[in-house]
Amino acid sequence: MSPTAPPPLIFDRALVNRRLDRAWARAQPGGGADFLLTRAAEDLGERLSFVKRRFALAADFGSPGPHGAAVLAAGGQVDRLIRIAPTFASVGVGAFLPAVGDLERLPVAEGRLDLAVSLLALQTVNDLPGALIQMRRALKADGLLMAAILGGDTLTELRQSLTIAESEVLGGASPRVAPFVDVRAFGALAQRAGLALPVVDLDRATVRYADLIALLGDLRAFGAANSLNARSRRPLRRAVLARVAEVYAERFSDPDGRLRATFDILWLSGWAPHESQQKPLKPGSATTRLADALKSRH
């Protein structure tokens, strides 16, 4: 039997980590480019508030910025928190235990955690199924995983504008916007990872920008510039950039001239299997016929 083939190297992980380190070293409190992380962290706090339990040990896996860790520390449900980031510089300081590790090789023992979270980090791993499996294995039985990633139609306007502009000006387009997983595929990956009772939903944010340069500036400030392995190493030509701006304005602007940018945050919650959890009924075990249940009573 042949060994399992390694996952394709879609992303340059070293470049991803360098850009995130640089972005957060320069970040200014309240600077605004972290609006997606702020949104995701607030959503994490709200979602956890509906889970009526305490977590003795939790880990924040790779979330850029301190937002998720701060919400977990302030929420009162977590006793001890580990924050895992690619370098000590990016871990930062706070009410947590710092640890260094990559999302594709998680430095956590099996069956140790009560809670695992990750905010807006998993969309740039080469082996998303493997990362989810590692996170599930790090959980104790009946431990909870909550993860938010960028997916769906994120940056669809920019992707379309770049493709059209490069095709017109250069006669072909190079990959510049990362591929994103959709809701259905994310749910299938959760099941493949062995999570029980998985739930996946989508939170869409439509952000408006004065112009293309403002959008690109936010992406750079967030550390989210092109990190695809197959990316062109040449700077985008001025003629192409000008045409991108024209196409974007023609197709994706509001009546006031501002440009729309879509960001889809996909949320996953699931549990490490435990005998106490609800289980689906076995086929043929129903005691009432569907036809009888649907009959109207007079």
pLDDT digits (tens, 9 = 90+) for 178-208: 889 999 999 999 999 999 999 999 999 999 9
185 in any annotated domain: yes
**What confidence category does residue 209 fall into, taking pLDDT thresholds of 50, 70 and 90?**
very high
285 in any annotated domain: no
Q: Which residue has the higher pLDDT, 93 or 268?
A: 268
Q: What is the pLDDT of residue 95?
A: 67
**What confidence category does residue 229 fall into, taking pLDDT thresholds of 50, 70 and 90?**
confident
Q: What is the pLDDT of residue 255?
A: 96
pLDDT at 210 over 60: yes
CA distances from 241 to 165, 210, 245, 258, 295 (A): 8, 16, 6, 17, 63
pLDDT at 281 over 60: no
pLDDT at 291 over 80: no
Q: Is 267 helix (H, G, I), strand (E, B) or coil?
A: strand
Two tokens at 167?
């095709």
Q: Give the total number of structural domains in the chain.
A: 1
Q: What is the mean pLDDT of residues 133-162?
A: 96
The CATH number covering residue 128 comes to 3.40.50.150
Mean pLDDT of the chain: 87
272 in any annotated domain: yes
Q: What is the pLDDT of residue 179?
A: 86
pLDDT at 220 over 60: yes
Q: What's the burial of 168, exposed, middle or buried (CB within 10 Å: 0-12/13-18/19+)?
A: middle
28 in any annotated domain: yes
Phi, psi (degrees; rounded to nearest 5) at 228? -70, 140
What is the CA angle 58-27-34, rounded to 5?
60
295 in any annotated domain: no
171 in any annotated domain: no
Q: What is the pLDDT of residues 26-81, one digit of tens each?
A: 766 556 778 999 999 999 999 999 999 999 999 999 998 888 989 998 999 999 99
CB atoms within 10 A of CB 269: 20
pLDDT at 131 over 80: yes
240 in any annotated domain: no
Q: What is the pLDDT of residue 27?
A: 66
Q: What is the mean pLDDT of residues 115-137?
A: 94
Kind and range of the H or E run holding 29: none
214 in any annotated domain: no
| Domain housing 194 | 13-154+179-208+263-276
Contact 130, 104 (CB under 8 A): yes
| Beta-carbon contacts of residue 77 (< 8 Å; ≥ 6 apart) | 48, 51, 53, 54, 55
**What confidence category does residue 2 fall into, taking pLDDT thresholds of 50, 70 and 90?**
very low
Q: What is the pLDDT of residue 1?
A: 42
pLDDT at 12 over 70: yes
Q: What is the pLDDT of residue 29?
A: 53
